[in-house]
Chains A and B, each alone.
Chain A
Amino acid sequence: MSSASQQPTSINPIHLKNQFALRFVRALNTIKNQKGSAHDTQMHCRSRRVKIAAYTAMASVVGSRRSWSRAVLWKIRNRSRNQDLLRNKIMTNHHRRRRHAKLCMKRRNRNSIREDVYLNPFRYSVQESKLRKMVPGGRNMDSWCLGDEIADYIKCLAAQVEVMQTLVDLYTVT
């Protein structure tokens, strides 16, 4: 990322919104242009994709500056990579299932291990654990960094919601 990521969003929230709007719109176009299967499943898939696109767009605007944005991008990347591997036509169904199972197991293990850490009532309060679950990448941070990330995340999330609301209004109006 170049200048867009280097400009702190705190200075210019409008910039944040604009950037997000641009990328999100672009992603929407991409999604729209994708050829889907049936309409119903497409709806569900598309909404999920739109959601992912929204989060990713916002994370990419923020770039590498913030831990939560890095976590989002990393997650998406991993997910896409795994999904690609799963969907890879070279892999047989057997391989695909095994790989999927492996991934799920890894995810479960990781979640369970980390959960013990941040669900420990002696270390973190209940609310703090909840916050850690909600904020991407909040599992391995200390309390102070977590608060910082939360503040930034809330700001970006609010901007994201605003832009999306505008878009929806725009589309539904006309």
Chain B
Amino acid sequence: MEKEKFYTNERNGIPQAWNSIFGMGIEGSELNCSSEQLSNCFFNPNCENSIDQRDLFESALSSIVSSPANSHPGIPIPGGSNGGESIVLRELIGRLGSICNSGEISPQSGINGNNSTNNSYHNTPLNSPPKLNLSITDHQIQGSLPIPGNRQLPPAPFPTDPGFVERAARFSSFGAKNLMVKENESGTPSRSQFIGIAEENKKFSRLSMLSTQDNTERGDSREASSVSEQILSGETETETGMKGQSTSTNGRKRKVIPKGKGKETQSSTTILAKDDKVVAEAEKEESDAKRSKSDEEEIEKEKEKEKTKENVKPPEPPKDYIHVRARRGQATDSHSLAERVRREKISERMKFLQDLVPGCNKVTGKAVMLDEIINYVQSLQRQVEFLSMKLATVNPRMDVTMEALLSRDMFRSRVPVPTTINPFDSSTNQFPYGFQSPNAGILLDGSDNQFSLNPLMAAMHRNSIMKPSHIDGFEASAFLENDLQSVVKMALGGQDQPQSFHGQMKVEL
């Protein structure tokens, strides 16, 4: 396939290609410097040379594809508009052809298409050849983008024309509303389809990139997907308004390409620490997902944009890597991924709240759910107030009996913890409310045993407050021993006062 040719051209002929690109007569050393510069721009310094070449190719491809992306109206490139897309794509095809011929990697042409900021670091190796500067300075997309290859390189035939056209046709599936790849064999209809590209979103550029790669080898597909990832990420970056940083982001994203190619072991140090794993996972997902055609649709679907007004940061700490898989049809931007994680957590919580709040099963939507929750909490609080009023008016023949009952019933449903506690000592302020009982706090003194055990027990059982869920052997024995003190101690294992009221407790019960 043509791609293989590209690779062979690259690997073998890269020096010559770069030579041709960077102006004839550039010395090899200079070429190496330039390529090194480029590679340093793009990748970690520890990349292999072949990888550099391939990645340069990828970057070239990406720049090619991103040039129509940059002409997307969403991106404020001067002169970028839909009308220029068709022209741009023709240029792209021309450039691809030139790539085939001369191995010209068209970062330079891509440079033209990219933001002017990209030119800043692309320009450095390319400044030397004055001829190429012509193309570099002309970064107007609408304007007639000079095809440097066609102008400055010796006019070469297009030996790869049929396959190239096929690829171009795939690119032209931008214009196709359906996202399936069309195997367009003819050359001319592909051209006409380019016009349709003007209507297309750049998503379809991703599709076409993917689709082209689907029919080629896997490495190519990974490459293209990584390119598409880059485009995607580049898109998101630009669309999120990071125009000024497009250089850095593009550079950063390009560094990710080797990872997307399956070298996942490569460090993602070039990426922001916070977005590291999230982006990495997302891109892994992207690269892994390419195997099937449905993956095209994944990338093609509407990217989720975060239009939330909230500036709430995701609650995960940056050093805690949240491994998120980018879902189908969703953006892989690190921010949106984090937002998605946060939203999933919130929806999880919403489901839990739905179980808590009665009658919320049919309610969908966060706002309505919140309303229901608010109503429920308000009603509960009002109930507490009402009941407290009622309890205040109740005949205060209250008692210890109830407490003892409660304590006794309590240990039935609790694992007893032997602690030395006196629950009946209210002098020590167990409840930190302000009122202090004037007594030393022996609640058991002299209270009338108005309430028998039965009503309370009955009531409690009726309301299923006390369910003897289990009775441990230990508990049962303690209970049967009728050692109230020990029982109360065990049951009321939450208090801290180690005083004991043996006598009184026995009196009461």
Which A residues contact B (CB, under 8 angstroms)?
A: 1-5, 7, 12, 14-15, 17-19, 21-23, 25-35, 43, 46-57, 60-61, 73, 76-77, 79-81, 83-84, 122-125, 127-128, 130-131, 134-135, 142-145, 147-148, 150-151, 153-155, 157-158, 160-174
Contacts and interface: CB of A to CB of B under 8 A. Distances in A.
Contacts of B414: 7, 12, 15, 18
A76 B433 CA distance: 6
Contacts of B493: 2-4
Nearest to A72: B432
B373 A154 contact: yes
Contacts of B460: 166
Contact of B352 (A61, A151, A160): A151
5 contacts: A22-B403, A29-B403, A51-B384, A51-B388, A83-B434
B215 interface: no
B356 A161 contact: no
Given A4-B493, A12-B414, A25-B403, A142 B385 contact: no
A30 B349 CA distance: 39
Contacts of A144: 315, 342, 345-346, 349
A103 B406 CA distance: 39
Contacts of A23: 430-431
Nearest to B350: A147
Contacts of B378: 134
B494 A2 contact: yes
Main secondary structure on A side of the interface with B: helix
A80 B434 contact: yes
B28 to A, nearest CB: 58
A168 B447 CA distance: 19
B395 to A, nearest CB: 7
A115 B459 CA distance: 43
Interface stretch (B8-16, B30-38, B435-443): B435-443
B1 interface: no
Contacts of B393: 43, 47
Given A2-B493, A128-B370, A154-B376, A25 B398 contact: yes
Interface stretch (B55-63, B263-271, B329-337, B418-426): B418-426
A150 B373 CA distance: 9
Contacts of A5: 494
Contacts of B419: 2-3
A128 to B, nearest CB: 7
A49 B387 contact: no
B380 interface: yes
B455 interface: yes
Interface in B413-469: 413-414, 417, 419, 423-424, 426, 430-435, 437-439, 441, 443, 447, 450-451, 455-456, 459-460, 463, 465-467, 469
A91 B460 CA distance: 47
Given A2-B419, A174-B451, 9 more contacts: A1-B494, A5-B494, A31-B435, A47-B393, A51-B384, A76-B432, A151-B356, A164-B383, A172-B390
B338 to A, nearest CB: 12
8 A-B pairs with least C-beta separation: A4-B494, A80-B434, A32-B396, A127-B370, A50-B388, A51-B388, A46-B392, A47-B392
Interface of B: 309-312, 315, 342, 345-346, 349-350, 352-353, 356-357, 367, 370-371, 373-374, 376-378, 380-381, 383-385, 387-396, 398-400, 402-403, 406-407, 409-410, 413-414, 417, 419, 423-424, 426, 430-435, 437-439, 441, 443, 447, 450-451, 455-456, 459-460, 463, 465-467, 469, 492-494, 496
Contacts of A147: 346, 349-350, 353
> Of residues B378, B394, B419, which shows the largest number of chain A Cβ atoms within 10 Å of its Cβ?
B394
A15 B413 contact: yes
A47 B356 contact: no
A154 to B, nearest CB: 5
Contacts of B389: 47, 50-51
Contacts of B385: 47, 51
A18 B459 contact: no
Given A18-B410, A46-B392, A170-B459, A130 B430 contact: no
Contacts of B374: 127, 130-131, 134
B430 to A, nearest CB: 7
B465 A166 contact: yes
Nearest to A167: B391
Contact of A30 (B437, B450, B463): B437
A30 to B, nearest CB: 5
A25 B406 contact: yes
A37 to B, nearest CB: 13
Given A127-B371, A166-B460, A43 B387 contact: no
B367 A127 contact: yes
Given A2-B494, A77-B432, A161 B377 contact: no
A166 B463 CA distance: 7
A130 to B, nearest CB: 5
Given A34-B438, A155-B356, A161-B383, A22 B423 contact: yes
A139 to B, nearest CB: 15
Contacts of B311: 123
Contacts of A155: 356
Contacts of B441: 30
